[in-house]
Amino acid sequence: MSRPLLEIVDLCVSVEDKVILDGVNLKVNPGELHVLMGPNGTGKSTLVSTVMGDPRFTIRRGSILFEGKDITDDKADARARAGLFLSFQVPEEIPGITMENFLRTARGAVEGQQPKILSFRKELLEQMKALDMDPSYAERYLNVGFSGGEKKKAEILQMLMLKPKLALLDETDSGLDVDAVRTVTKGIRTFSNKKNGLFIITHNAKILEGLDVDVVHILEGGRIIRTGGKELISLITNDGFTILDKEE
Amino acid sequence: MKDFNQEKTHISEVDRSIYDIKDKVDSSFEVDSGLTSAIVSKISQEKNDPEWMRIFRLKALETYHKTPMPGWGPSLDGLDIGNIVTYVRPKTDMRTDWSDVPDYIKNTFERLGIPDAERKSLAGVGAQYDSEVVYHSVRAEVAAQGVVYTDMESALTGPYAEMVRKHFMRLVPPSDHKFAALHGAVWSGGSFVYVPKGASVEIPLQSYFRLNAPGAGQFEHTLIIVDEGAYLHFIEGCSAPKYNVANLHAGCVELYVGKNARLRYSTIENWSKNMYNLNTKRAVVEEGGTIEWVSGSFGSHTSYLYPMSILKGKNSRMEFTGITFAGEGQNLDTGAKVLHSAPDTTSHITTKSISRDGGVSTFRSAITVTPQATGSKSAVSCESLMLDSISRSDTIPVMDIQCDEVDIGHEAKIGRISESAIFYLMSRGLSEEDARAMIVGGFAEPIAKELPLEYAVEMNNLIHLEMVGSIG
Amino acid sequence: MNERINILPVPTWNRMGVNWAEAKADLPKALLPKGKKEPYTGSVSHGMQTLRELPTEVAQIQSGMGAYYDEYIMDQADKTCFLQVNDDVKEPFIITEQLDSSNPASRTHWGIVAEEGSRLTVVQISRGDAMDGAAMTLTQIHAKAGSFVRLIQLQLLGDKSRSWEAVGARIGEGAKVELVRAVLGGQVAASGSLMKLEGAKSGYDLNSAYFGHKEQYLDFNDTAEHMGRESVCEMYTSGVLADNSTKILRGTIDFRSGAVRAVGHENETVLLLSPTARNRTTPLILCGEEQVEGQHAATLGKFDEKQLYYLCSRGLTPTQAKRLMVEARFMPVLDLLPEEDLRTEILEGIERRLDRHENNPG
What is the tens place of the pLDDT at every residue in C211-248?
A: 999 999 999 999 999 999 999 999 999 999 999 999 99
- Against chain B, the chains showing at least 3 CB pairs within 8 Å are A, C
Percent of chain A whose predicted confidence (pLDDT) is above 70:
97
* pLDDT over threshold 50, residue B110: yes
Please list the alpha-helical segments (H only) found in chain A.
44-52, 76-82, 99-111, 117-130, 148-162, 178-191, 231-239, 242-247
Calpha distance C306→A108 (Å, rounded): 50
pLDDT for the residue A178: 87
What mean pLDDT comes out for the span B420-435? 93
Number of domains in chain B: 2
Calpha distance C300→C167 (Å, rounded): 26
B45/A242: higher pLDDT: B45
Residue B6 lies in a domain: no
Chain A positions touching B445 (Cβ under 8 A) are 95-97
CB contact under 8 A, B408 and C276: no
* C-B interface (Cβ pairs under 8 Å ≥ 3): yes
pLDDT for the residue B367: 97
* pLDDT over threshold 50, residue B6: no
Report the chain B residue with the minimal C-alpha distance to residue C258: B389
pLDDT digits (tens, 9 = 90+) for C133-183: 999 999 999 999 999 999 999 999 999 999 999 999 999 999 999 999 999
Out of B202-216, C165-179, C184-198, C254-268, which region has the weakest mean confidence (pLDDT)?
B202-216
State the pLDDT confidence band at C202, using cuts at 50, 70 and 90.
Answer: very high
Q: Are residues B180 and B314 in the same domain?
A: yes
Q: Are residues B278 and B236 in the same domain?
A: yes
The minimal CB distance from B408 to the residues C278, C293, C301 is found for C301
Report the chain C residue with the minimal C-alpha distance to residue B377: C301
Contact B105, B92 (CB under 8 A): yes
pLDDT for the residue B48: 92
Q: Are residues B295 and B426 in the same domain?
A: no
Residue B25 lies in a domain: yes
ipTM of the complex: 0.93
Query: Which of B310, B318, B366, B365 is CA-nearest to residue B342?
Result: B310
State the pLDDT confidence band at B248, using cuts at 50, 70 and 90.
Answer: very high
Chain A positions touching B2 (Cβ under 8 A) are 55-56, 58
pLDDT digits (tens, 9 = 90+) for C259-281: 999 999 999 999 999 999 999 99
Last residue of a domain, one of B418, B437, B463: B418
pLDDT for the residue B1: 34
Range of the domain at B432: 419-472
pLDDT for the residue B10: 35
C314/A22: higher pLDDT: A22
The minimal CB distance from C285 to the residues B366, B399, B412 is found for B412
* pLDDT over threshold 50, residue C34: yes
Residue B338 lies in a domain: yes
CB contact under 8 A, C284 and B394: yes
Give the length of chain C: 362
What mean pLDDT comes out for the span B94-120? 84
Q: Are residues B46 and B71 in the same domain?
A: yes
State the pLDDT confidence band at B12, using cuts at 50, 70 and 90.
Answer: very low
Interface test with B, best of C240, C248, C252, C285 (most B CBs within 10 A): C285
* A-C interface (Cβ pairs under 8 Å ≥ 3): no
Calpha distance C1→C109 (Å, rounded): 21
Interface test with A, best of B5, B418, B426 (most A CBs within 10 A): B426
pLDDT for the residue A122: 95
Chain B positions touching A52 (Cβ under 8 A) are 427
What mean pLDDT comes out for the span B241-250? 86
CB contact under 8 A, B399 and C298: yes
| Contact with chain C for residue B472, Cβ under 8 A | no
Q: What is the SS3 assignment for A92? A: coil
- H or E segment to which residue B397 belongs: strand B392-401
State the pLDDT confidence band at A78, using cuts at 50, 70 and 90.
Answer: very high
B268/C268: higher pLDDT: C268
Report the chain C residue with the minimal C-alpha distance to residue B396: C284
Q: What is the DSSP letter of B67?
A: S
Residue type (1 letter), B266: S
| Contact with chain A for residue B439, Cβ under 8 A | yes
- How would you label C94-128 residue by residue, b for 16+ Cβ within 10 Å and e otherwise? ebebebeeeebbbbbbbbbbbbebbbbbbbbbbbb
CA dihedral C54, C58, C59, C63 (to 10 degrees): -140
Crossing angle (nearest 10°) for helices C318-334 and C305-312: 110
Out of B62-71, B133-142, B229-238, C269-278, which region has the weakest mean confidence (pLDDT)?
B133-142
- Report how many Cβ contacts below 8 Å link chain B to chain C: 138
Out of A67-76, B206-215, C84-93, which region has the weakest mean confidence (pLDDT)?
B206-215
pLDDT for the residue A244: 66
Closest CA of chain B from A39, distance in Å: 25
Q: How far apart are the first and last CA of chain C?
A: 41
pLDDT for the residue B470: 31
* pLDDT over threshold 80, residue B456: no
State the pLDDT confidence band at B130, using cuts at 50, 70 and 90.
Answer: confident
| Contact with chain A for residue B381, Cβ under 8 A | no
- Beta bridge pairs of residue C119: C88, C148
State the pLDDT confidence band at B13, using cuts at 50, 70 and 90.
Answer: very low
Report the chain B residue with the minimal C-alpha distance to residue C281: B399
* pLDDT over threshold 70, residue B394: yes
* pLDDT over threshold 90, residue B241: no
What sign does the CA torsion over A10, A15, A17, A19 have? Answer: negative
pLDDT for the residue B461: 73
pLDDT for the residue B5: 36
Out of A224-238, B39-53, B80-94, which region has the weakest mean confidence (pLDDT)?
B80-94
pLDDT for the residue B7: 33
Calpha distance B440→B445 (Å, rounded): 9
Residue B215 lies in a domain: yes
Q: What is the DSSP letter of B98?
A: G
* pLDDT over threshold 60, residue B308: yes
CB contact under 8 A, B424 and A91: yes
CA dihedral B369, B370, B375, B377 (to 10 degrees): -10
The minimal CB distance from A92 to the residues B4, B424, B432 is found for B424
pLDDT for the residue B87: 82
Out of A161-175, B248-262, C130-144, C211-225, which region has the weakest mean confidence (pLDDT)?
A161-175
Average model confidence (pLDDT) across chain B: 89
Chain B positions touching A58 (Cβ under 8 A) are 1-2
State the pLDDT confidence band at A245, using cuts at 50, 70 and 90.
Answer: low
Average model confidence (pLDDT) across chain A: 90
pLDDT digits (tens, 9 = 90+) for C35-86: 999 999 999 999 999 999 999 999 999 999 999 999 999 999 999 999 999 9
Contact C251, C222 (CB under 8 A): yes
Closest CA of chain A from B446, distance in Å: 7
pLDDT for the residue B106: 86
Question: Phi/psi class of residue A238: alpha, beta or left (left: φ > 0; alpha: ψ in -120 to 50)?
Answer: alpha
Architecture of domain A6-92+166-247: 3-Layer(aba) Sandwich (3.40)
Chain B positions touching C299 (Cβ under 8 A) are 408-410
Chain C positions touching B371 (Cβ under 8 A) are 275-276
Out of A239-243, B153-157, B419-423, which region has the weakest mean confidence (pLDDT)?
A239-243
CB contact under 8 A, C18 and B402: no
Chain A positions touching B441 (Cβ under 8 A) are 96-97
Crossing angle (nearest 10°) for helices B37-46 and B51-66: 150
CB contact under 8 A, C282 and B407: no
State the pLDDT confidence band at B8, using cuts at 50, 70 and 90.
Answer: very low
What are the two backbone dihedrals, phi and then psi, of residue A126, each rounded to the nearest 5 degrees? Answer: -65, -45
pLDDT digits (tens, 9 = 90+) for A105-117: 899 989 988 899 8
Q: Are residues B414 and B443 in the same domain?
A: no
pLDDT for the residue B9: 33
The minimal CB distance from A96 to the residues B419, B430, B442 is found for B442
- H or E segment to which residue B110 belongs: helix B103-111
Residue B184 lies in a domain: yes
A197/A245: higher pLDDT: A197
Please list the alpha-helical segments (H only) found in B189-252.
none
Q: Are residues B393 and B425 in the same domain?
A: no
* pLDDT over threshold 60, residue B4: no
The minimal CB distance from A16 to the residues B1, B421, B426 is found for B1
Residue B5 lies in a domain: no
pLDDT for the residue B453: 73
The minimal CB distance from A80 to the residues B419, B427, B432 is found for B427
Q: Are residues B401 and B463 in the same domain?
A: no
pLDDT for the residue C268: 95
CB contact under 8 A, A77 and B438: no
Residue B294 lies in a domain: yes
Longest dimension (CA), chain A: 58
Q: What is the DSSP letter of B432?
A: H
State the pLDDT confidence band at B29, using cuts at 50, 70 and 90.
Answer: confident
- CA distances to A56, A61, A138, B424 from A14, rounded to whole Å, are 9, 10, 37, 20
Residue B12 lies in a domain: no
Average model confidence (pLDDT) across chain C: 94
Calpha distance A216→B112 (Å, rounded): 64
Q: How far apart are the first and last CA of chain B?
A: 25
Chain B positions touching C284 (Cβ under 8 A) are 394-397
